[in-house]
Amino acid sequence: MFLTKENGMRIVEEIKETIGRDVNIMDRTGTILASTDPKRIGQLHTIAKEILEQQLPVLEVAAGEEGPGAQQGVNLPIYVDGNCEGVIGITGPPDAVRDFGAIVKKMTEILLTTMRQQEQSLLVEQARSLFLEEWLFAQDLDWSAFAERGALLDIDIREPKRIAILEYEPRGTAQPPELHGGRLLQMAQRYVQGEQTLCAVVNRRLLLVFGPEQKALEVLKQFQQAAESFYEVTLSGGLSSLSRGAEDIRRCYNEAKIAARAAAKNHTILEYSGISLDFVLQNLEPKVKADVCRAIFETVPEDEREELLECLVLYFRCEGNVERAAQSIHVHKNTFRYRMGKLAQYTGYDLRRPRDAAMLYIAMQFLDAERNSFPGGNNPQK
């Protein structure tokens, strides 16, 4: 039975506030399930029982006709989807409350229908959230059976998808993160309308799955702005590329995690495809940058450091073209190579070896930010 004490109490309190009369709701056995008169809850309402047994459209109780658990008033059956869920009773002289009868009956039926729809929608969303978690994390899935389950939830796992991960942090004297998570999920579901969109809260992160036709980044930025304005939270997040099939969704999840981590420092929304190595490097902790610069360049003599590091910067700026790099500072290419050789001698990192070139490129990205990371501090401008 859908009618419960909780939703029954919500209804009787709302109706009493409207009509100013005590109201009772009886279940299918005739027992008073909810009442604005707490003493009556749990009593058997004999008039309601008679209505249910005889399928009466209405039954009034006048003065002198009161019985066990029944007072003066008007009582009517309530129906939802063609099924009798119970009886609604309005306490008071029938002449005084009769006009409320049909209105209260209809109001109750509408409220119950709305509550049922909300509960059914919640159950569907919970099922879709669990489906998403299983899709992302379960091992050894039977993909054929899983696709059939998805179809029952209006989810086509074969269609290309994009994963978004949004992280949220309370601001100021904020409420618990769990409360924010539930509210943000409800807001997100309104923003990302569409049968093929999935939303869930997993490990205090908001997960969203977009179909190929949806303007995911635009929607996410609009949602971020609205959520930060409405709630005391700060949002950041990452968006993956499109999946290439059902099993590829986990690669997309990892992409979204990487993008979300990169976006966290500046509280923005980033696409995985838009993350460059330079962006990742510049978002490392300052101490890490300083340690890298010191470890690689500290052995370069101070009186040669500026000249050699200038050549390093030019080498990468010219995409490894030694001749073009040498021309930019008006030296012969052999002179330039000599200087690069000296840099390799001092640091132990040789640009001709790909692994060493990568380390020198990374360290070069930190030169401006870590100008004072080693003695002298006379680093070239990039």
pLDDT digits (tens, 9 = 90+) for 147-171: 999 999 989 999 999 999 999 888 7
Distance of CA 352 to the CA centre of its chain: 46
| Distance between CA atoms of residues 143 and 220, nearest Å | 29
Q: Which residue do the tokens 């940058």 mark? A: 289
Looking at residue 375, what is its pLDDT?
47
The SS3 of residue 259 is helix
Q: In the sheet where 205-210 sits, what is the strand order? A: 198-202, 205-210, 162-170, 233-239, 269-271
Residue 121 has pLDDT above 90, yes or no: no
| Distance between CA atoms of residues 98 and 93, nearest Å | 8
Of 156-160, 262-266, 311-315, 316-320, the range with the lowest mean pLDDT is 262-266
Of 51-65, 138-152, 189-203, 362-376, the range with the lowest mean pLDDT is 362-376
Nearest to 310 by CA among 268, 280, 340, 333: 340
| Distance between CA atoms of residues 209 and 240, nearest Å | 10
CATH number of this structure's domain 286-365:
1.10.10.2840
Per the rule left: phi > 0, alpha: psi between -120 and 50, beta: everything else, 81 is: left
What mean pLDDT is predicted for residues 284-304? 84
| Distance between CA atoms of residues 52 and 30, nearest Å | 7
| Distance between CA atoms of residues 208 and 164, nearest Å | 5
CATH number of this structure's domain 143-275:
3.30.70.270
What mean pLDDT is predicted for residues 196-215? 83
What mean pLDDT is predicted for residues 247-275? 88
The SS3 of residue 187 is helix
Residues 35, 26 contacting (CB under 8 angstroms): no
Q: Tell me which DSSP letter residue 100 carries.
A: G
Of 277-281, 327-331, 338-342, 352-356, the range with the lowest mean pLDDT is 277-281
Give me the chain's average pLDDT, please. 87
Nearest to 136 by CA among 166, 118, 175, 163: 163
Of 200-209, 210-219, 269-278, 297-306, the range with the lowest mean pLDDT is 269-278
Of 21-25, 275-279, 336-340, the range with the lowest mean pLDDT is 275-279
Looking at residue 149, what is its pLDDT?
94
Give the class (CATH, top level) of 5-117. Answer: alpha beta
| Distance between CA atoms of residues 258 and 266, nearest Å | 14
- In the chain, what are the domain boundaries? 5-117, 143-275, 286-365
| Distance between CA atoms of residues 185 and 194, nearest Å | 15
Confidence of residue 172 (pLDDT cuts 50, 70, 90): low
| Distance between CA atoms of residues 118 and 128, nearest Å | 15
Q: Which residues of 234-243 are buried (b: 16+ CB within 10 A; e: fewer)?
A: bbbbbbbbeb
Looking at residue 39, what is its pLDDT?
93
Looking at residue 169, what is its pLDDT?
84
Burial class (CB in 10 A: 0-12, 13-18, 19+), 297: buried
What mean pLDDT is predicted for residues 310-331? 93
Name which residue leads in pLDDT, 62 or 181: 62
Residues 78, 84 contacting (CB under 8 angstroms): yes
Name which residue leads in pLDDT, 141 or 121: 141
| Distance between CA atoms of residues 254 and 350, nearest Å | 33
pLDDT digits (tens, 9 = 90+) for 359-378: 899 888 887 655 555 545 55
Nearest to 250 by CA among 106, 141, 94, 329: 141
Name which residue leads in pLDDT, 137 or 66: 137
pLDDT digits (tens, 9 = 90+) for 79-104: 998 999 999 999 999 999 999 999 99
Which tokens in the block code for residue 72? 């003066």
Residue 49 has pLDDT above 90, yes or no: yes
Task: Give, to the nearest 10 degrees, the angle between helix 354-365 and helix 302-317.
Answer: 110
Looking at residue 67, what is its pLDDT?
75
| Radius of gyration in angstroms for the set of CA atoms belonging to the chain, rounded to a whole number | 35
Residue 131 has pLDDT above 90, yes or no: yes
| Distance between CA atoms of residues 217 and 271, nearest Å | 8
Looking at residue 315, what is its pLDDT?
94
What mean pLDDT is predicted for residues 275-294? 76
